[in-house]
Structure 1
């Protein structure tokens, strides 16, 4: 039997000087990366997304963790798909394994977790239920007393007010979650747009080089067509000139 959730959270918080409250918050991957760093001291902590909120940020952390496992010949499979869903049982089992591995391999040396992550505070990752799921449950809970009261022909004094207050609180929480999701989606959009822009620049630069040599490359032209076909009516600039930075696809 491994340690309990409470014991593991206390250990993680003490080791990393953070303030997690749930084991499923480790699903972002940041804590796993730094626990392994406390053993070997060679995780590139500057690349770890300490306050990851989006799926692609979680995946960045797990890619770093997988690379470390490979470098140190740790043959434990990392169930990335399960862990990133931030479910309690999956993260509990993996953290129990991590703790056993740490006990066996930590050399007892001093470790400064805050310095290793350059003083970046680790905020508690959100472990949100899918949007809509919480609202249905909250609405059901709020309506249940009224239905029961009607069945008995009675209306509990103050019950409606309490139910309304709970419903308002649930809706307010959902609005905050949706706002956080929207902000995250905008960041994710910008992240992938920046990648497309980098590809566009590389393609254009290579085509300019080939044109200077009197050569051509059909693959590059096909890539360029794909990039520019995403906006109706967009025409490839003459002479392969770079698109203005303010222009979007």
Structure 2
């Protein structure tokens, strides 16, 4: 069983010098990027959005994390679509895996988390879907029967005007955010598709040349076994080349020629 929520938060805050209060805050991807940086010291933290507040920013952070996974051949899938929803259970399970990975590969020594991220704060990221406490201003209660003071009227008027402007700007801003998120998501999907196509092409090419070499191998073996050809020396040399291995390489025990790959 992995560490508890309290243990994980204590470890995370101590390592990264942040003040996370909820596991769900890891859904931005920023903390995970710096955990990997504490191990390899090569994550481009200047590109990580530590105060990310929008989903498209979360996606960008996870893209940086995926690039680091690929670079260091970390064989574990990142459930981006689940994590960026900032749900407790999904983020708890992934953070438990990250802690286990860190325990195995952290090189030790001091890690200047704040310096590595250029002094950027990393603890005031709001959790999506949560209700933030609004600051309130206490005003002196007016005398009964008296109208609102000039200062109060000005404050109310300014606040009303600001709220109206914010409401009118929200639809446009939301549309921009949605467009940016869709573009980032489409870019990631295109990259995955390109990688899949490349792998398929490499596998087809490998199989093509393997079959050709296998045919040559069978033919050479047959000719050597008959012993009726003056080219036997040549065929023997070809066979020796085909079976030659690099220094330190050993053919796996129990595998036949049919299972060999080139």
Structure 2 length as normaliser, TM-score? 0.52
Aligned 8 A contact 1:27 1:84 in 2: yes
Q: 2:82 touches 2:90 (CA, 8 Å); kept in 1? A: yes
In the TM superposition, 1:1-249 aligns within 5 A as 1-129=1-129, 182=170, 185=174, 188=177
Q: Return 5+ residue gaps in structure 2 as ranges.
A: 132-162, 185-262
CA RMSD, Structure 1 to Structure 2 (Å): 2.9
Return the structure number with greater relative CO, CA threshold 8 A, min gap 6: 2
Preserved CA contact (<8 Å) 2:30 2:61? yes
Q: Which runs of 5+ in 1 are unaligned?
A: 135-174, 196-249
**Contact 1:53–1:184 at 8 Å: present in 2 too?**
no
Note if contact 1:25-1:124 (Cα within 8 Å) is conserved in structure 2.
Answer: no
Deviation at 1:110, TM superposition (A): 1.6
* Structure of larger gyration radius: 2
| Deviations 1:20-51 (CA, angstroms, capped at 9, x unpaired) | 00001100000000000000000000000111
Q: Does the C-alpha gap of structure 1 residues 114 and 2 become closer, same or farther in structure 2, counting only changes over 3 Å?
A: same
Residue pair 1:54, 1:184 contacting (<8 A) in 2 also: no
Partners of 1:119 and 1:7 in 2: how far apart?
25
- Separation in structure 2 between the aligned mates of residue 12 and residue 78 of structure 1, nearest angstrom: 19
Give the secondary structure class of the aligned counterpart of 1:14. Answer: helix
**Matched length:** 148
TM-score when scaled to structure 1?
Answer: 0.54
Deviations along 1:105-153, one digit per CA (max 9) or x if unpaired, are 00102210000110011133222328xxx7xxxxxxxxxxxxxxxxxxx
Alpha-carbon distance in 2 for matches of 1:102, 1:123: 20
Equivalent residue of 2:37, what SS?
Answer: helix
